[in-house]
A and B are shown apart, each in its own frame.
Chain A
Amino acid sequence: MINFKDVSFRYSKNQDHVLRNISFNVKKGEFLGISGPSGSGKSTLCLMMNGIIPKTIEGEFSGEVYIDGEDIAEKEIYEISEKLGLILQNPESQLFSMTVEEELAFGPENLGIKREEIGDRVSWALELVGMERFREAFPHQLSGGEKQKIAIASLLTMKPEILVLDEPTSNLDPKSRIEIFKIVQKLNKKGMTVVVVEHETNFISSADKILILNEGEIVRYGTPKEIFREADFLKEIGIRVPEIVEFSNYLLKDGYIDDIFLSVTEALEVLNVESRKSLL
């Protein structure tokens, strides 16, 4: 679904490459997590997925990016946006309309969707993110978490097949983080291909695959278990490892368990603890 072939980019000749020789694949319906320390090129990578780099943000770009089999170099951003929705870090700059309803309608309006259908899509998207009550709300009155949910909904009304989220829970409170996470998981289960960039690696520990970037290059790629088994390496390059996973790494090293665990439920199974799941 997403195909990067040997992509490299830098803003100008006098600067270092932000990304170098990036090649990877995302299958249809897959959930890919991307992580890396600050400055590793994660956000740049996201902006490449719908062509903002290099079409709107200029620089020296080499390599090819294919979305659903098509080379996006030959497409307009508005064409790519029909298939791929991008959610950025700052909800404030993504909600630019006067009401939530208008915001959600903006995308489909641009796509030329018929009026009646737009109304239906708005209702559907609001339900998906659990914000039905907010249809007439003004964006500046919403909390951070609510804003981000509306940002997601405003892309959902375009019915994209791929959703890319760049640190969507940055600066949000823990409750909102979990809510956003659940929405993303739900969308993925419904068949949407999802790419999430996070340095809060808790969020992506349930991804199908994880890509680790460091200093502009891909340094690791694999399943969450494969990635998190190398907790020391990750910490060394400056990536947070979920604490539960770190704990399991200690146990693994000293031979108490055969493989790491990624969640409390898994931990209890692996440790053969009578699940007092009522405490969960």
Chain B
Amino acid sequence: MLKVENLCYEYESGFKLKNINFEVKGGESIGIIGENGSGKTTLVKNLIGLLRPKSGRVLLNGEDASKMSVAEIARTIGFVFQNPDNQIFASSVKEEVSFGPQNLKMDKIEEIVNDVLKKTDLFKYKESHPFKLSGGEKQRLALASILVMNPKILVLDEPTSGLDLRNARKLIEIVKNLQKEGRTLILISHDMELVSDLCERIILMKSGEIIADGGIKDIFDDSNLLEKTRLDLPEIAKLSKILEFGVVFDPEELYRKWRASND
């Protein structure tokens, strides 16, 4: 579905993306993690065409993305930016969500907008002013605005950042439903618990390069790797490691393991 071959990119400031190679199959969910400045956002911008690689290429379903405009790429890869306030402009939620499909000249816009609003639990706000929505609702609105263009691959950049528990949960549930539908998911996040909840595979980045690409458990279990990338495991994972249960992020899971070994 998505293949990246020897991609290199360089910013004016000197920061480089080097030798990026990876493949994503349809229906997969991968997380991209790495400290600030490791190149995660730069990589994703190269995938959706906002930035064009200096060398190497991005293949979308076999086609070279360099021949496609950003709008064309948007039909296949939808990127939900981190800050919904940076894109909301319409006077109603309905109008806001219709923006993408209008630009892409899609059919039956009203129908697909209603459909997406229901999926993201925003239908009741259809005629409301998007600026009046709460933080969590705005985040879902941003997701809806991309989802409505029906991209097969969804890229989410820190989707639960700044959200309280309830809103984070709602968003995660919606994403899980999308996964069940068969959508491919690329998640950029610092929240390791979120990544382990939603993804089976992760790509670890540092200084513009991919350091590791593999199953979540394998990568998180490798202390050398984590030290090399200076990634800090959340407290619970540290505890579970010391207790010799491997890397566990979910308290309930850890409890079950504890009981199993202590009974």
Contact = CB atoms under 8 A, between A and B. Distances in A.
Interface of A: 37-39, 143-145, 170-171, 173-176, 178, 199, 202, 235, 238-240, 242-244, 246-247, 249-251, 254, 256, 263-264, 267-268, 271, 273, 275-276, 279-280
B134 A238 contact: no
A279 B238 contact: yes
Given A175-B36, A263-B235, A264-B239, A239 B161 contact: no
A24 B250 CA distance: 35
25 contacts: A38-B166, A143-B36, A144-B36, A170-B161, A173-B35, A174-B190, A175-B36, A175-B232, A176-B36, A178-B232, A199-B164, A238-B164, A243-B234, A243-B249, A247-B236, A247-B255, A249-B251, A251-B255, A264-B238, A264-B242, A273-B242, A279-B238, A279-B241, A280-B238, A280-B242
A171 to B, nearest CB: 5
Given A173-B36, A273-B243, A276-B242, A250 B165 contact: no
Contacts of B223: 279
Interface in B222-263: 223, 230, 232, 234-236, 238-239, 241-243, 249-252, 254-255, 258-259, 262
B136 interface: yes
Interface residues of B, number: 36
A256 B134 CA distance: 41
A199 B36 CA distance: 22
Contacts of A176: 36
Nearest to B36: A173
Contacts of B241: 279
Interface of B: 35-37, 134-136, 158, 161-167, 190, 193, 223, 230, 232, 234-236, 238-239, 241-243, 249-252, 254-255, 258-259, 262
A256 B252 CA distance: 15
Contacts, number: 91
Contacts of A178: 232
Given A38-B166, A244-B251, A268-B239, 20 more contacts: A37-B165, A38-B134, A39-B134, A145-B36, A171-B161, A173-B35, A173-B190, A175-B232, A239-B164, A240-B165, A243-B235, A243-B250, A247-B251, A250-B255, A251-B258, A256-B262, A264-B235, A271-B243, A276-B242, A279-B242
A170 B168 CA distance: 14
B236 A243 contact: yes
Nearest to B223: A279
Contacts of A235: 165
Given A243-B251, A246-B251, A250-B251, A38 B164 contact: yes
A240 B169 CA distance: 11
Give me the 5 closest cross-chain CB pairs, A-B, nearest first: A243-B236, A246-B251, A250-B255, A247-B251, A238-B166
